[in-house]
Amino acid sequence: MSLFESPFFQDAFSQLESAGATMNMDPNVLERLKYPKRALQVSVPVRLDDGTVKVFEGYRVQHNMTLGPGKGGVRFHPHVSLSETAALAMLMTFKCALVGLPLGGAKGGIKVDPNDLSRAELQALTRRYTTEISMMIGPDKDIPAPDIGTDGQTMAWMMDTYSQLGGYAVPGVVTGKPIAIGGSLGRAESTGKGVVFCINFAYEKLGKKVGTSTTVAIHGFGKVGMPAAQDLDAQGAKIVAISDVSGAIYNPKGLDIPACVEWVRSRKYLKDMPGAELITNEQLLELDVDVLIPAAIDGVVTKDNAHRVKAKMIAEGANGPLTHEAVDIISARGGLIIPDILCNAGGVIVSYFEWVQGLQMFFWDLETVNKKLHDIMKLAFDKVWECSQKYKVNMKQAAFIASLDRIQGAMRLRGMWP
């Protein structure tokens, strides 16, 4: 299986090469960053509730660990592949470096639709996967976290499995855990909160402020989109559209976000929600709004539909929701894009906080977590903004340049072995 199989890896690769050329990066360092440090493919056999055994494909990829242990989520999704996982691991390397964390980039996943499995089957799947990758992970090696299709319960099963294999509790092996077993306050909503921080930072740079006249559309009303909607709603912004896999709902006067949250948490699809117009996810992306937050999956805005995207600002809540061609098209018409490795870094930042708290066995209050998150994201945003001005490039390319500058310095200092 080729790393270049997925358009997602090809796109991440292209962005790396483009940023490297713009900053005149050391070609030897650039060459090393094009490929992951190591990748593991595993078979994950599970005995289903009907007694039959089904084997799933699983992966764990570590892209670069120059700055510290690997860090990256575990994704349960039908489209998981080695190529996609490698691309996500690469983006994690750049994300951790950009926000100044002492962590490298990694990612994992299983090719499965978790909705097709019972709770018992999911637990068996998670525990077997953890066992198969156990030689690669650990508090000082590589620390997984939740991603699409996984959650705090998944992390609890992973932590318990790893701990059972070692014979003692190892809470630091994963982050995104429930509070009761060493999770951090603020972790669940951290990615969405970071997205909103970045939108506010951008508005400040433009001499504006988020308020009642600010219209927002959010593609994906899940772990990222939901807390982002709640925070923006609290600031008075008008959330006119949100979506999930069933489609999108739209109300030009603004949606009742608390009611939407309650509806979705009762495990109902948005398409069935009364009092709102049903539109497609594609139509949502093309609404004439001030801010568009693509917060679901990668590759939703491409060269084919970028010309129809009217939002003045795009905050990439998901990983790689805009292809590099789409970034060029939207930037050329004056749209401001807050790049994914900056915009959605809140999750890995608070995961880092959780890891640190677990190692110290000393836990912080929510105010401390959110204050530290805000400060780290502000420093990173300002760095990317300055890079954009210095190199006269869009924010997406500026984020890669700022990240690569830190990684390049560290790789040169450590040297190559042997």
Enumerate the active-site residues: 107
Q: Please give the full DSSP string across 87-139, using - where no structure is assigned.
A: HHHHHHHHHHHHTT-S-EEEEEEEE--GGGS-HHHHHHHHHHHHHHHTTT-BT
**Looking at this protein, which amino acid is placed at residue 260?**
C
Sheet of 142-146: strands edge to edge? Answer: 38-47, 53-64, 104-111, 70-77, 142-146
Tokens of 136: 């690669």
Using an 8 Å Cβ cutoff, are 347 and 233 in contact? no
Sheet of 277-279: strands edge to edge? Answer: 277-279, 247-250, 238-244, 215-219, 291-294, 313-315, 336-338
Sequence-distant (6+) residues with CB within 8 A of 28 are none
Whole-angstrom Cα distance, residue 414 to residue 282? 46
Closest CA to 182 of 335, 18, 59, 363: 363
Whole-angstrom Cα distance, residue 63 to residue 104? 7
Closest CA to 103 of 139, 149, 53, 136: 139
**Helix 257-265 crosses helix 225-234 at what angle (to 10 degrees)?**
150
Element at 352 (helix H, strand E): helix 346-360
CB atoms within 10 A of CB 350: 29
Tokens of 290: 């001030």
- Which alpha helices (DSSP H) does 134-189 contain, by range? 152-166
- Only one residue has tokens 């999704």, namely 77
Running DSSP on this structure, what letter comes out for residue 304?
T
Tokens of 88: 């996500």
Tokens of 157: 């099963």
